[in-house]
Chain A
Amino acid sequence: MIIQSLKMAWESVRSNKMRSFLTMLGIIIGVFSLVVLVSLIDGATSSITGSIATLGSSSLNINIMDDKGRPLSQEDLESLCGNGAIEWVSPSGSSAFSIRCGHKEDSVNVTGVNQYYAQIEQLESAAGRMLQVPDIDNHLDVAVVNEDIAKDLMGFSRVQDAVGGEIVIDGRPFTVIGVIRNTTDSGIASFMGVQYAAYIPHTTFIRLPSARTTKITSFTLSAKNGDLEQAQEDIGQFLLERFDNDEDAFYVMNFQSILDAMGSVNGTLSLVMGGVAAISLLVGGIGIMNIMLVSVTERTREIGIRKAIGAGRKVILLQFLIEALMISLIGCGIGIFLSWLALQVISAVAAASSATITFGLSARVVIISTAFSTGIGLLFGLYPANKAASMKPIDALRYNG
C-alpha cells in the first residue's frame, strides 16, 4: 500500500512539474540557506579555533606595557619557574626581520626565547636540536627554524640537511642547529602571512643591531597539569606586586579563554542564522500547504472516484500526506545538493586564494534540515490531506470543477 501510495504521489508530482517545482523552491531555498549558513559558520569557526590552538592554547602570553622602571630580567623569569601553578617561563619577544640565505631573501618572524620555549609551546622537532642553556648563557648566534625556511628559503628538500647551514638575520650570520615542524601553517596565520618562523636565544635577540629594546616586554608560560586559570591568577598576583598594583601595567592573554568566548559567539551566530533560515523553510511549508489545498480542490472528483471504488479515509489521507512529504523531501534533497555544490565552490575559491579553510557539509546540519523538512511536510500536508480524506464520496463525485 505504501509503495502504491508513493507511486501515485510521484505520478501526481510529475504530472504538474512546474507547479511542483515552484512549491519545492520554497523548501529548496530554505534548506539551501540553512545548510550553507551553518556550514560557513562551522568552517570559519573550526579554522579560527584551529589557528588559535596552534598559536598556543596551552600557554599564557603576557605583555608588559609599563615596567615602572623595574623591567623583568632573565633571572626573574627563571625564578618564576615552578612558582605556584606556573611551570616554565620563557621570553617571547618577536620581530619581523629580513633573512637572507644565499641569494634568497624574505621576511621572517624571529622570536627571542630561552631553553623552555619549545616545551611551553609544544614545538615538535623535525631535525637537529632545540635551544639549550649554553646557547642562552653565551648568547650564541644559533637559530632553530621551521620547515618552511629549511625548504623554501634554504632550498633543502630533506630538512635534516638544513642543520649546520647558515642564515643571515639582520646582517648577522646564524648557524641553524635545529628544524621544527610548521605550526602556523593553517587558517588565520596564513591569512596574516606568517609563514617563516625562526627562534634564537633571547640573549642574542636583544643584541641584534636593530633590536628596539633590551628589556623583556613579553613572555610566555605554561601551567602545571595544564591548569592555566590558576597560573593566570599566580602570574597576575606576582606582576601586580611588582608593578605597584597597577592592573594596566601588563596584559595576560589566555588563548583558551578566547577560544571559549569565540565558541559561544559562534554558537549564538549559528543559532541566529539557523533561525533565519528556518523561517524561510516555514514559509516554504506554507507554500506546500497552499498548493496541496489547491490540489485537493482540483482533484475532488478523483477523490470521489477513489472513495467509490473502495478507498477509505486513511488511504486518501496517506496519499496526500505522502505527496506533501515527497515535495518537501525532494526540495530538501535538491537544497542539500545545491548547498554541497556551493560549499565546494567556496572552498575552491578559498583554496585558490591560499587560505586553508575548508567548508564541508556537516552531517549534523544535513540531519537537522532533513528532519525539519519532514516535519514541515507532515505539518503543512496534514490539513489538506485531512480535508481530502473527510470528503463525502457522493459530494465529491457530483463535483464539477
Chain B
Amino acid sequence: MIVLKDVSKIYTMGDTQLRALDHANMHIRQGEFVSIIGPSGSGKSTLMNIVGCLDLADEGEYYLDGIEIRKYSEDRLAEVRSKKIGFIFQNFNLIGRMSAWDNVELPLIYQRVPAQQRKERVEEALRRVQLYERRRHRPNELSGGQQQRVAIARAIAAQPSIFLADEPTGNLDSRTGEEIMGIFHEMHAAGGTIVLITHDSGVAAQAQRQIAIRDGHVQEV
C-alpha cells in the first residue's frame, strides 16, 4: 500500500544542508496499524508530509497504492489527498466558522459526492464518533476531545485508503487520549489502514508494528 524506496528530503538553510529524511525505506500493507515513533526534530513531520502527499520527496521513490507520486501536478496531488488520505492532526485543524457537520462534509464536497450520499456518510461518520447530537456545534463550542473526534469523523467520511494521524493525542489529557486511541482501534478493527505518528512510546506501543525514526533514518523496532 505504502512503499518508500531510498526517500530523502533535503532542506537548505544558508550554507548548511539538512537531510530531514536520509534514504528512508518503509513498507506498510493494507489493514495494518503502524506507529512511527521518534523525538521532535527526527524527521517525523517530513515523513508524514511526504506520505500524505503534502510535500514531494527530493530523492527516491514513493508508491501509494502502486502509483508513483512524484510525477503529479499540484491539482492531481490534491485529488490523491482527497481520495486516498484521511488526515488527523495534533491541533485538529477544523475550520472554526463551520459547524461540525459542515467540517465533516467538506472533503466529500471536494470529492464531488452527490448530496444524498454525502448526507448519509456524514451522519454515519458522526454517529461512529458519537457526536451526531452535537453536529450543529462549532469547534469552539466543543471540548478538545470532541474536536478531535470531529476531525476523525471528517477522515472517516472521506473513506480514504489510509488514515494518517500526526500526534492525535498530543493536545489532549491522558483520559481523552485513551478515548481517541479507542476509536483508532475500532477503525483498525473495521479494516482501516492506520499510520500514527507520535513521540509517546505508550501510544506507539498500542500499534501492531512500530517504526522508529531518528535523524532522518527509518528502522523497524
A interface, CB within 8 angstroms of B: 1, 4, 11-12, 15, 301-302, 304-315, 393-394, 397
Partner pick for B54 among A4, A306, A393, CB 8 A cutoff: A393
CB distance from A348 to the nearest CB of B (A): 44
A314 touching B75, Cβ below 8 Å: yes
A305 touching B95, Cβ below 8 Å: yes
CA distance A41 to B89 in the complex (A): 61
Which residues of A sit under 8 angstroms from B134, Cβ to Cβ? none
Which residue of chain A lies nearest to B76 when distances are taken between CB atoms in the complex? A312
Check A310/B98 contact, CB under 8 A, given A305-B93, A394-B49, A394-B54.
Answer: no
Categorize the interface residue count of chain B.
Answer: 20 to 34
CB distance from B41 to the nearest CB of A (A): 15
B111 touching A310, Cβ below 8 Å: yes
CA distance A37 to B109 in the complex (A): 45
Which residues of B sit under 8 angstroms from A302, Cβ to Cβ? 95-96
CA distance A393 to B75 in the complex (A): 12
Which residue of chain A lies nearest to B111 when distances are taken between CB atoms in the complex? A310
Which residues between 75 and 117 of chain B lie within 8 Å of chain A, taking CB atoms?
Answer: 75, 78-79, 81-83, 87, 89, 93-98, 106-107, 109-112
A310 touching B83, Cβ below 8 Å: yes
| B74: Cβ under 8 A from any A Cβ | yes
Partner pick for A394 among B55, B82, B97, B111, CB 8 A cutoff: B55
10 pairs, A vs B, C-beta closer than 8 Å:
A305-B95, A310-B111, A311-B110, A312-B78, A312-B110, A314-B75, A394-B54, A394-B55, A397-B89, A397-B93
| B7: Cβ under 8 A from any A Cβ | no
Which residues of B sit under 8 angstroms from A306, Cβ to Cβ? 95, 106, 110
B93 touching A308, Cβ below 8 Å: yes
CB distance from B180 to the nearest CB of A (A): 19
CB distance from B205 to the nearest CB of A (A): 28
CA distance A190 to B87 in the complex (A): 77
A315 touching B110, Cβ below 8 Å: yes
CA distance A328 to B192 in the complex (A): 46
Check A309/B54 contact, CB under 8 A, given A11-B98, A302-B95.
Answer: no
Check A310/B81 contact, CB under 8 A, given A11-B98, A12-B97, A305-B93.
Answer: yes
A4 touching B97, Cβ below 8 Å: no
Which residue of chain B lies nearest to A316 when distances are taken between CB atoms in the complex? B78
Known: A313-B75, A394-B55. 9 other contacts (CB 8 A): A307-B81, A308-B54, A309-B81, A313-B78, A315-B78, A315-B110, A393-B54, A394-B54, A397-B93
Which residues of A sit under 8 angstroms from B110, Cβ to Cβ? 306, 309-312, 315
| B145: Cβ under 8 A from any A Cβ | no
CB distance from A339 to the nearest CB of B (A): 33
